[in-house]
Chains A and B, each alone.
Chain A
Amino acid sequence: MAEKIRVAPFWGCMIPVKYPQMELSVRKTMAPLGVELVDLDGFSCCPDPIYFKARDKVQWLTIAARNLCIAEQAGLDVITMCSGCTSTLQEARFLLAEDENLKALVNQKLKKIGKEYKGTARVKHIVVMMRDDLGIERVKSSVVRPLTGVKVGIHYGCHLLKPSQIMHIDDADYPSLLETLVRAIGATPLTHTEKLLCCGKGCMDEDMPLQMTHEIFHSMESVGADVMGLICPTCFNSFDMGQILIARKMNREFNMPVIYFCQLLGLAQGFDPEEVGLHLHRIKIDQVMETIAASETVEIVVR
Protein backbone atom coordinates (compact mmCIF):
# COMPACT_ATOMS: atom_id res chain seq x y z
CA MET A 1 0.00 0.00 0.00
CA ALA A 2 1.30 3.40 -0.96
CA GLU A 3 2.01 5.93 1.73
CA LYS A 4 -1.01 7.48 3.45
CA ILE A 5 -1.48 11.23 3.09
CA ARG A 6 -3.02 13.44 5.79
CA VAL A 7 -4.56 16.73 4.72
CA ALA A 8 -7.01 19.30 6.08
CA PRO A 9 -10.07 19.64 3.83
CA PHE A 10 -11.29 23.20 3.40
CA TRP A 11 -14.92 22.67 2.40
CA GLY A 12 -15.87 26.32 1.89
CA CYS A 13 -19.53 27.36 1.85
CA MET A 14 -21.19 26.29 -1.38
CA ILE A 15 -20.25 22.63 -1.05
CA PRO A 16 -21.23 21.79 2.56
CA VAL A 17 -24.33 23.99 2.61
CA LYS A 18 -25.71 23.90 -0.91
CA TYR A 19 -24.13 20.92 -2.68
CA PRO A 20 -23.30 18.40 0.07
CA GLN A 21 -23.30 15.67 -2.59
CA MET A 22 -19.88 16.97 -3.65
CA GLU A 23 -18.56 16.66 -0.10
CA LEU A 24 -20.02 13.16 0.03
CA SER A 25 -18.18 12.20 -3.15
CA VAL A 26 -14.89 13.55 -1.79
CA ARG A 27 -15.24 11.70 1.52
CA LYS A 28 -16.15 8.46 -0.30
CA THR A 29 -13.39 8.58 -2.92
CA MET A 30 -10.45 9.65 -0.77
CA ALA A 31 -10.39 6.55 1.43
CA PRO A 32 -9.62 4.16 -1.47
CA LEU A 33 -6.82 6.55 -2.49
CA GLY A 34 -5.14 6.41 0.92
CA VAL A 35 -5.96 10.02 1.83
CA GLU A 36 -6.92 10.77 5.41
CA LEU A 37 -9.12 13.87 5.71
CA VAL A 38 -8.48 15.62 9.02
CA ASP A 39 -11.42 17.96 9.66
CA LEU A 40 -10.23 21.06 11.53
CA ASP A 41 -12.51 23.29 13.61
CA GLY A 42 -12.94 26.98 13.00
CA PHE A 43 -12.71 27.57 9.24
CA SER A 44 -14.97 30.34 7.95
CA CYS A 45 -15.80 31.38 4.38
CA CYS A 46 -12.50 31.63 2.49
CA PRO A 47 -13.80 34.56 1.97
CA ASP A 48 -15.26 34.75 -1.51
CA PRO A 49 -12.99 36.30 -4.14
CA ILE A 50 -15.69 38.28 -5.94
CA TYR A 51 -17.95 40.25 -3.60
CA PHE A 52 -16.24 40.27 -0.22
CA LYS A 53 -12.97 41.15 -1.93
CA ALA A 54 -14.76 43.93 -3.86
CA ARG A 55 -15.75 45.58 -0.59
CA ASP A 56 -12.40 45.52 1.19
CA LYS A 57 -9.28 43.70 0.04
CA VAL A 58 -7.51 44.00 3.39
CA GLN A 59 -10.45 42.48 5.26
CA TRP A 60 -10.59 39.76 2.62
CA LEU A 61 -6.90 39.00 3.10
CA THR A 62 -7.19 39.02 6.88
CA ILE A 63 -10.00 36.47 6.97
CA ALA A 64 -8.15 34.31 4.43
CA ALA A 65 -4.99 34.48 6.55
CA ARG A 66 -6.98 33.50 9.64
CA ASN A 67 -8.15 30.36 7.85
CA LEU A 68 -4.61 29.52 6.80
CA CYS A 69 -3.40 29.99 10.40
CA ILE A 70 -5.71 27.16 11.51
CA ALA A 71 -4.03 24.73 9.12
CA GLU A 72 -0.57 26.04 10.06
CA GLN A 73 -1.26 25.41 13.73
CA ALA A 74 -2.31 21.84 12.94
CA GLY A 75 0.78 21.37 10.80
CA LEU A 76 -1.28 20.27 7.80
CA ASP A 77 -1.62 21.32 4.19
CA VAL A 78 -5.04 22.42 2.98
CA ILE A 79 -6.96 20.81 0.17
CA THR A 80 -9.72 22.81 -1.44
CA MET A 81 -12.72 21.48 -3.31
CA CYS A 82 -13.88 24.79 -4.82
CA SER A 83 -12.01 26.94 -7.32
CA GLY A 84 -13.09 30.10 -5.49
CA CYS A 85 -11.59 28.90 -2.20
CA THR A 86 -8.46 27.82 -4.06
CA SER A 87 -8.17 31.25 -5.61
CA THR A 88 -8.66 33.20 -2.38
CA LEU A 89 -6.33 31.12 -0.23
CA GLN A 90 -3.64 30.84 -2.86
CA GLU A 91 -3.76 34.53 -3.75
CA ALA A 92 -3.62 35.44 -0.08
CA ARG A 93 -0.47 33.34 0.26
CA PHE A 94 0.99 35.07 -2.80
CA LEU A 95 0.18 38.62 -1.67
CA LEU A 96 1.37 38.06 1.87
CA ALA A 97 4.66 36.69 0.54
CA GLU A 98 4.99 39.48 -2.03
CA ASP A 99 4.38 42.41 0.30
CA GLU A 100 6.02 42.50 3.75
CA ASN A 101 4.05 45.58 4.82
CA LEU A 102 0.79 43.92 3.97
CA LYS A 103 1.79 40.84 5.93
CA ALA A 104 2.68 43.03 8.93
CA LEU A 105 -0.69 44.81 8.69
CA VAL A 106 -2.59 41.52 8.54
CA ASN A 107 -0.59 40.04 11.41
CA GLN A 108 -1.25 43.12 13.51
CA LYS A 109 -4.96 42.37 13.13
CA LEU A 110 -4.55 38.63 13.69
CA LYS A 111 -2.66 39.31 16.91
CA LYS A 112 -5.92 40.53 18.43
CA ILE A 113 -7.27 36.99 18.23
CA GLY A 114 -3.97 35.39 19.22
CA LYS A 115 -2.96 34.23 15.76
CA GLU A 116 0.02 34.84 13.51
CA TYR A 117 0.25 34.08 9.81
CA LYS A 118 3.54 32.46 8.83
CA GLY A 119 2.82 31.01 5.41
CA THR A 120 3.78 27.42 6.16
CA ALA A 121 0.60 25.62 5.10
CA ARG A 122 0.28 24.93 1.40
CA VAL A 123 -3.00 25.01 -0.49
CA LYS A 124 -3.99 22.61 -3.23
CA HIS A 125 -7.18 21.91 -5.09
CA ILE A 126 -8.10 18.25 -4.65
CA VAL A 127 -7.50 17.46 -8.33
CA VAL A 128 -4.02 18.94 -8.08
CA MET A 129 -3.31 16.83 -5.01
CA MET A 130 -4.36 13.77 -7.00
CA ARG A 131 -1.94 14.56 -9.80
CA ASP A 132 1.02 15.82 -7.76
CA ASP A 133 0.89 14.07 -4.39
CA LEU A 134 -0.91 10.80 -5.12
CA GLY A 135 0.07 10.36 -8.73
CA ILE A 136 -2.11 9.27 -11.61
CA GLU A 137 -1.15 5.60 -11.14
CA ARG A 138 -2.71 5.57 -7.68
CA VAL A 139 -5.90 7.12 -9.06
CA LYS A 140 -5.95 4.48 -11.80
CA SER A 141 -5.43 1.64 -9.39
CA SER A 142 -8.50 2.66 -7.35
CA VAL A 143 -10.74 2.16 -10.41
CA VAL A 144 -12.86 -0.99 -10.43
CA ARG A 145 -15.41 0.09 -13.04
CA PRO A 146 -13.74 2.16 -15.78
CA LEU A 147 -16.12 4.66 -17.34
CA THR A 148 -15.45 3.24 -20.79
CA GLY A 149 -17.33 5.01 -23.54
CA VAL A 150 -18.38 8.01 -21.44
CA LYS A 151 -17.46 11.20 -23.28
CA VAL A 152 -16.70 13.96 -20.83
CA GLY A 153 -16.82 17.58 -21.95
CA ILE A 154 -14.29 19.28 -19.73
CA HIS A 155 -14.90 22.63 -18.09
CA TYR A 156 -11.86 24.03 -16.30
CA GLY A 157 -13.40 27.21 -14.94
CA CYS A 158 -11.21 30.24 -14.31
CA HIS A 159 -9.81 30.23 -10.83
CA LEU A 160 -8.13 26.84 -10.82
CA LEU A 161 -5.63 27.95 -13.46
CA LYS A 162 -5.49 31.72 -13.53
CA PRO A 163 -3.38 33.62 -12.86
CA SER A 164 -0.74 30.95 -13.44
CA GLN A 165 1.82 33.22 -11.76
CA ILE A 166 -0.04 32.51 -8.53
CA MET A 167 -1.72 29.16 -9.11
CA HIS A 168 1.27 27.23 -10.53
CA ILE A 169 -1.00 24.39 -11.62
CA ASP A 170 -0.92 24.06 -15.38
CA ASP A 171 -0.56 25.93 -18.65
CA ALA A 172 -3.52 28.31 -18.52
CA ASP A 173 -3.99 28.17 -22.31
CA TYR A 174 -3.32 24.47 -22.93
CA PRO A 175 -4.07 22.69 -19.66
CA SER A 176 -3.96 18.90 -19.41
CA LEU A 177 -4.70 18.18 -15.74
CA LEU A 178 -8.39 17.28 -16.08
CA GLU A 179 -7.88 15.39 -19.34
CA THR A 180 -5.29 13.24 -17.57
CA LEU A 181 -7.62 12.54 -14.66
CA VAL A 182 -10.61 11.77 -16.88
CA ARG A 183 -8.47 9.28 -18.83
CA ALA A 184 -7.30 7.72 -15.56
CA ILE A 185 -10.87 6.70 -14.73
CA GLY A 186 -11.40 5.16 -18.15
CA ALA A 187 -13.57 7.89 -19.68
CA THR A 188 -12.83 9.91 -22.80
CA PRO A 189 -12.03 13.60 -22.34
CA LEU A 190 -13.32 15.85 -25.11
CA THR A 191 -11.74 19.09 -26.01
CA HIS A 192 -14.02 21.79 -27.41
CA THR A 193 -13.88 25.41 -28.55
CA GLU A 194 -15.13 26.96 -25.32
CA LYS A 195 -13.24 24.71 -22.92
CA LEU A 196 -11.67 27.69 -21.19
CA LEU A 197 -14.57 30.14 -21.29
CA CYS A 198 -15.72 31.56 -17.95
CA CYS A 199 -19.08 30.28 -16.65
CA GLY A 200 -20.12 33.91 -16.14
CA LYS A 201 -21.11 33.67 -12.49
CA GLY A 202 -18.97 36.60 -11.37
CA CYS A 203 -20.44 39.01 -13.92
CA MET A 204 -23.21 41.28 -12.63
CA ASP A 205 -25.37 41.49 -15.74
CA GLU A 206 -28.84 40.19 -16.60
CA ASP A 207 -27.98 38.42 -19.83
CA MET A 208 -24.25 37.89 -20.21
CA PRO A 209 -23.77 34.98 -17.77
CA LEU A 210 -26.52 32.98 -19.45
CA GLN A 211 -25.12 33.71 -22.91
CA MET A 212 -21.77 32.44 -21.73
CA THR A 213 -23.09 29.19 -20.26
CA HIS A 214 -25.13 28.73 -23.42
CA GLU A 215 -21.99 29.04 -25.58
CA ILE A 216 -20.20 26.47 -23.45
CA PHE A 217 -23.04 23.94 -23.70
CA HIS A 218 -23.35 24.55 -27.43
CA SER A 219 -19.62 23.95 -27.85
CA MET A 220 -19.77 20.72 -25.77
CA GLU A 221 -22.84 19.43 -27.53
CA SER A 222 -21.29 19.97 -30.96
CA VAL A 223 -18.41 17.61 -30.10
CA GLY A 224 -20.82 15.01 -28.71
CA ALA A 225 -20.24 15.19 -24.96
CA ASP A 226 -22.35 12.88 -22.78
CA VAL A 227 -21.66 14.81 -19.59
CA MET A 228 -19.92 17.94 -18.43
CA GLY A 229 -17.10 17.30 -15.97
CA LEU A 230 -16.01 20.10 -13.67
CA ILE A 231 -14.31 20.88 -10.38
CA CYS A 232 -16.04 23.96 -8.96
CA PRO A 233 -19.41 24.33 -7.18
CA THR A 234 -19.92 27.86 -8.50
CA CYS A 235 -19.51 26.69 -12.09
CA PHE A 236 -21.82 23.78 -11.19
CA ASN A 237 -24.49 26.24 -10.13
CA SER A 238 -24.13 28.08 -13.45
CA PHE A 239 -24.53 24.88 -15.44
CA ASP A 240 -26.98 22.68 -13.49
CA MET A 241 -29.47 25.37 -12.53
CA GLY A 242 -28.29 27.31 -15.59
CA GLN A 243 -29.73 24.70 -17.94
CA ILE A 244 -33.16 25.22 -16.44
CA LEU A 245 -32.80 28.98 -16.96
CA ILE A 246 -31.51 28.56 -20.53
CA ALA A 247 -34.52 26.37 -21.32
CA ARG A 248 -36.87 28.94 -19.82
CA LYS A 249 -35.32 32.15 -21.13
CA MET A 250 -33.64 31.07 -24.36
CA ASN A 251 -35.93 28.19 -25.22
CA ARG A 252 -33.03 25.80 -25.71
CA GLU A 253 -32.70 22.40 -24.01
CA PHE A 254 -29.30 20.73 -23.64
CA ASN A 255 -30.18 18.14 -21.01
CA MET A 256 -26.52 17.51 -20.24
CA PRO A 257 -25.66 16.10 -16.80
CA VAL A 258 -23.12 18.19 -14.93
CA ILE A 259 -20.82 16.10 -12.74
CA TYR A 260 -18.17 17.09 -10.20
CA PHE A 261 -14.94 15.20 -10.84
CA CYS A 262 -15.00 13.28 -7.54
CA GLN A 263 -18.48 12.02 -8.40
CA LEU A 264 -17.14 10.64 -11.68
CA LEU A 265 -14.23 9.14 -9.77
CA GLY A 266 -16.73 7.61 -7.32
CA LEU A 267 -18.64 5.92 -10.14
CA ALA A 268 -15.35 4.53 -11.45
CA GLN A 269 -14.48 3.28 -7.96
CA GLY A 270 -17.71 1.28 -8.05
CA PHE A 271 -20.00 3.46 -5.95
CA ASP A 272 -23.65 3.71 -6.96
CA PRO A 273 -24.84 7.10 -8.26
CA GLU A 274 -26.77 7.68 -5.01
CA GLU A 275 -23.69 6.98 -2.91
CA VAL A 276 -21.99 9.99 -4.49
CA GLY A 277 -25.16 12.10 -4.41
CA LEU A 278 -25.90 12.14 -8.12
CA HIS A 279 -29.63 11.75 -7.41
CA LEU A 280 -29.60 15.34 -6.14
CA HIS A 281 -28.72 16.88 -9.50
CA ARG A 282 -31.38 18.55 -11.61
CA ILE A 283 -30.18 16.96 -14.82
CA LYS A 284 -30.35 13.19 -14.38
CA ILE A 285 -27.59 10.77 -15.36
CA ASP A 286 -29.56 7.67 -16.41
CA GLN A 287 -28.16 7.72 -19.94
CA VAL A 288 -24.58 7.83 -18.64
CA MET A 289 -25.23 4.84 -16.37
CA GLU A 290 -26.57 2.91 -19.36
CA THR A 291 -23.35 3.65 -21.27
CA ILE A 292 -21.27 2.41 -18.34
CA ALA A 293 -23.44 -0.71 -17.95
CA ALA A 294 -23.25 -1.42 -21.71
CA SER A 295 -19.45 -1.22 -21.70
CA GLU A 296 -19.33 -3.58 -18.69
CA THR A 297 -21.44 -6.12 -20.59
CA VAL A 298 -19.17 -5.87 -23.63
CA GLU A 299 -16.08 -6.45 -21.49
CA ILE A 300 -17.60 -9.56 -19.96
CA VAL A 301 -18.47 -10.94 -23.39
CA VAL A 302 -14.95 -10.24 -24.68
CA ARG A 303 -13.36 -11.95 -21.70
Chain B
Amino acid sequence: MTEKKVGFEFRERLNKIVGGNHHNYCYQCGSCVAICPAARFSDDFNPRDILLKTLLGKPEELISADSIIWKCTNCYSCYERCPQDVRPVEVIIALKNICAEDGVLPPNVDKFSDTIAKSGRSVVMTSTVNRRRAELGLPELKDPPLNELEILLE
Protein backbone atom coordinates (compact mmCIF):
# COMPACT_ATOMS: atom_id res chain seq x y z
CA MET B 1 0.00 0.00 0.00
CA THR B 2 1.27 3.43 -0.83
CA GLU B 3 1.57 5.87 2.02
CA LYS B 4 -1.10 8.63 2.01
CA LYS B 5 0.28 11.89 3.28
CA VAL B 6 -0.95 15.46 2.94
CA GLY B 7 1.77 17.79 1.71
CA PHE B 8 1.40 20.54 4.31
CA GLU B 9 4.64 22.18 3.24
CA PHE B 10 3.13 23.07 -0.11
CA ARG B 11 -0.08 24.28 1.50
CA GLU B 12 1.83 26.53 3.86
CA ARG B 13 3.73 27.94 0.93
CA LEU B 14 0.43 28.63 -0.85
CA ASN B 15 -1.00 30.26 2.29
CA LYS B 16 1.64 32.98 2.01
CA ILE B 17 0.46 34.11 -1.44
CA VAL B 18 -2.34 36.67 -1.59
CA GLY B 19 -5.64 34.74 -1.71
CA GLY B 20 -3.90 31.36 -1.49
CA ASN B 21 -4.97 30.77 2.12
CA HIS B 22 -8.64 30.56 1.16
CA HIS B 23 -8.01 27.07 -0.27
CA ASN B 24 -8.29 25.79 3.31
CA TYR B 25 -12.02 26.51 3.37
CA CYS B 26 -12.89 24.14 0.48
CA TYR B 27 -15.20 21.26 1.43
CA GLN B 28 -15.35 19.83 -2.10
CA CYS B 29 -19.01 20.53 -2.82
CA GLY B 30 -18.49 21.08 -6.55
CA SER B 31 -20.55 24.28 -6.92
CA CYS B 32 -17.59 25.74 -8.80
CA VAL B 33 -17.70 22.95 -11.39
CA ALA B 34 -21.39 23.47 -12.06
CA ILE B 35 -20.91 27.11 -13.03
CA CYS B 36 -17.44 26.86 -14.66
CA PRO B 37 -17.35 27.61 -18.43
CA ALA B 38 -13.92 25.99 -18.80
CA ALA B 39 -15.33 22.78 -17.28
CA ARG B 40 -18.25 23.00 -19.70
CA PHE B 41 -16.10 23.41 -22.79
CA SER B 42 -13.30 20.97 -21.97
CA ASP B 43 -13.08 17.38 -20.86
CA ASP B 44 -10.32 17.84 -18.35
CA PHE B 45 -10.69 21.19 -16.59
CA ASN B 46 -12.26 20.81 -13.15
CA PRO B 47 -11.84 23.45 -10.44
CA ARG B 48 -12.93 21.08 -7.68
CA ASP B 49 -10.22 18.65 -8.74
CA ILE B 50 -7.64 21.45 -8.73
CA LEU B 51 -8.72 22.34 -5.20
CA LEU B 52 -8.54 18.69 -4.11
CA LYS B 53 -4.97 18.37 -5.35
CA THR B 54 -4.21 21.60 -3.55
CA LEU B 55 -5.78 20.36 -0.30
CA LEU B 56 -3.75 17.18 -0.53
CA GLY B 57 -0.69 19.35 -1.03
CA LYS B 58 0.18 17.51 -4.24
CA PRO B 59 1.27 20.27 -6.62
CA GLU B 60 3.26 18.14 -9.08
CA GLU B 61 0.56 18.12 -11.75
CA LEU B 62 -0.46 21.74 -11.15
CA ILE B 63 2.80 23.64 -11.08
CA SER B 64 4.04 23.66 -14.67
CA ALA B 65 3.81 25.74 -17.83
CA ASP B 66 1.41 23.27 -19.45
CA SER B 67 -0.67 22.66 -16.32
CA ILE B 68 -4.44 22.52 -16.61
CA ILE B 69 -4.68 25.68 -14.44
CA TRP B 70 -3.86 27.82 -17.49
CA LYS B 71 -7.19 26.83 -19.07
CA CYS B 72 -9.08 28.76 -16.38
CA THR B 73 -11.08 31.49 -18.12
CA ASN B 74 -10.66 33.87 -15.17
CA CYS B 75 -14.41 34.55 -15.31
CA TYR B 76 -14.91 34.68 -11.53
CA SER B 77 -18.10 32.57 -11.67
CA CYS B 78 -16.66 30.17 -9.08
CA TYR B 79 -15.81 33.09 -6.81
CA GLU B 80 -19.43 34.21 -7.14
CA ARG B 81 -20.89 30.78 -6.43
CA CYS B 82 -18.60 29.27 -3.77
CA PRO B 83 -20.48 28.89 -0.46
CA GLN B 84 -17.20 28.73 1.46
CA ASP B 85 -15.52 31.91 0.18
CA VAL B 86 -12.69 29.80 -1.24
CA ARG B 87 -12.47 32.19 -4.20
CA PRO B 88 -11.26 29.27 -6.36
CA VAL B 89 -10.07 31.51 -9.21
CA GLU B 90 -7.86 33.38 -6.74
CA VAL B 91 -6.42 30.09 -5.48
CA ILE B 92 -5.71 29.17 -9.10
CA ILE B 93 -4.00 32.53 -9.64
CA ALA B 94 -1.98 31.95 -6.45
CA LEU B 95 -0.90 28.60 -7.94
CA LYS B 96 0.17 30.51 -11.05
CA ASN B 97 2.24 32.82 -8.83
CA ILE B 98 4.00 29.68 -7.55
CA CYS B 99 4.66 28.69 -11.17
CA ALA B 100 6.33 32.09 -11.57
CA GLU B 101 8.42 31.61 -8.40
CA ASP B 102 9.53 28.21 -9.68
CA GLY B 103 10.38 29.61 -13.11
CA VAL B 104 7.77 27.58 -15.00
CA LEU B 105 5.47 30.28 -16.37
CA PRO B 106 4.18 29.76 -19.90
CA PRO B 107 6.46 31.93 -22.10
CA ASN B 108 3.61 34.13 -23.39
CA VAL B 109 2.51 35.03 -19.84
CA ASP B 110 6.06 36.03 -18.98
CA LYS B 111 6.45 38.02 -22.19
CA PHE B 112 3.12 39.80 -21.74
CA SER B 113 3.99 40.74 -18.16
CA ASP B 114 7.40 41.99 -19.27
CA THR B 115 5.73 44.26 -21.81
CA ILE B 116 3.72 45.85 -19.02
CA ALA B 117 6.73 46.13 -16.71
CA LYS B 118 8.92 47.74 -19.39
CA SER B 119 6.45 49.93 -21.29
CA GLY B 120 3.70 50.48 -18.72
CA ARG B 121 1.19 49.16 -21.23
CA SER B 122 -0.18 45.75 -22.11
CA VAL B 123 -0.54 46.67 -25.78
CA VAL B 124 2.63 47.62 -27.63
CA MET B 125 2.71 51.20 -28.89
CA THR B 126 3.73 51.61 -32.52
CA SER B 127 4.51 54.77 -34.45
CA THR B 128 1.12 54.61 -36.15
CA VAL B 129 -0.94 54.73 -32.92
CA ASN B 130 -0.64 58.46 -32.28
CA ARG B 131 -1.11 59.21 -35.98
CA ARG B 132 -4.36 57.22 -36.00
CA ARG B 133 -5.44 58.95 -32.80
CA ALA B 134 -4.72 62.36 -34.32
CA GLU B 135 -6.86 61.48 -37.34
CA LEU B 136 -9.72 60.79 -34.94
CA GLY B 137 -9.06 64.06 -33.11
CA LEU B 138 -7.81 62.30 -29.96
CA PRO B 139 -4.98 63.66 -27.77
CA GLU B 140 -1.46 62.25 -28.04
CA LEU B 141 -0.68 59.28 -25.79
CA LYS B 142 2.28 59.87 -23.49
CA ASP B 143 4.42 57.19 -21.87
CA PRO B 144 3.66 56.45 -18.23
CA PRO B 145 6.55 57.31 -15.85
CA LEU B 146 8.63 54.19 -16.42
CA ASN B 147 11.17 55.08 -13.74
CA GLU B 148 8.44 54.81 -11.11
CA LEU B 149 7.35 51.41 -12.41
CA GLU B 150 10.95 50.23 -12.39
CA ILE B 151 11.36 51.20 -8.74
CA LEU B 152 8.09 49.52 -7.76
CA LEU B 153 8.91 46.30 -9.59
CA GLU B 154 12.48 45.95 -8.25
Contacts and interface: CB of A to CB of B under 8 A. Distances in A.
B120 interface: yes
B136 A63 contact: no
Interface string A7-42: 000000110111011011001000000000001011
B152 A109 contact: yes
A204 B70 contact: yes
B152 A17 contact: no
B151 A112 contact: yes
B138 A41 contact: no
B141 interface: yes
B125 interface: yes
B144 A18 contact: no
Interface in A104-162: 109-110, 112-113, 158-159, 162
B122 A54 contact: no
B2 interface: no
Interface in B11-57: 17-19, 37-38, 41-42
A49 to B, nearest CB: 7
B141 A16 contact: yes
Contacts of A159: 76
B116 A52 contact: yes
A242 interface: no
Interface residues of A, number: 59
A20 B136 contact: yes
Interface in A187-241: 197-198, 200, 202-205, 208, 211-212
Contacts of A165: 79-80
Given A42-B145, A162-B77, A172-B80, A57 B17 contact: yes
B75 A158 contact: yes
Contacts of A51: 108-109, 112-113, 122
Interface string B111-150: 0110010001111110001001100111101101100110
A59 B133 contact: no
Interface in B75-130: 75-77, 79-80, 87, 93-94, 96-97, 99-100, 105-106, 108-110, 112-113, 116, 120-125, 129
Nearest to A66: B152
B47 to A, nearest CB: 13
B57 to A, nearest CB: 20
A13 B144 contact: no
Contact of B97 (A23, A54, A62, A158): A54
A54 B71 contact: no
Interface of B: 17-19, 37-38, 41-42, 70-77, 79-80, 87, 93-94, 96-97, 99-100, 105-106, 108-110, 112-113, 116, 120-125, 129, 132-133, 136-139, 141-142, 144-145, 148-149, 151-153
Given A47-B116, A162-B76, A162-B77, 10 more contacts: A20-B132, A48-B116, A48-B122, A53-B93, A54-B105, A55-B96, A55-B113, A66-B149, A95-B18, A203-B74
Interface of A: 13-14, 16-18, 20-21, 23-24, 27, 39, 41-45, 47-59, 61-63, 66, 87, 95, 99, 102, 109-110, 112-113, 158-159, 162-165, 172, 197-198, 200, 202-205, 208, 211-212, 277
15 contacts: A17-B124, A18-B123, A20-B132, A27-B138, A41-B142, A44-B145, A52-B116, A55-B110, A55-B113, A57-B19, A95-B18, A172-B80, A198-B75, A200-B37, A203-B38
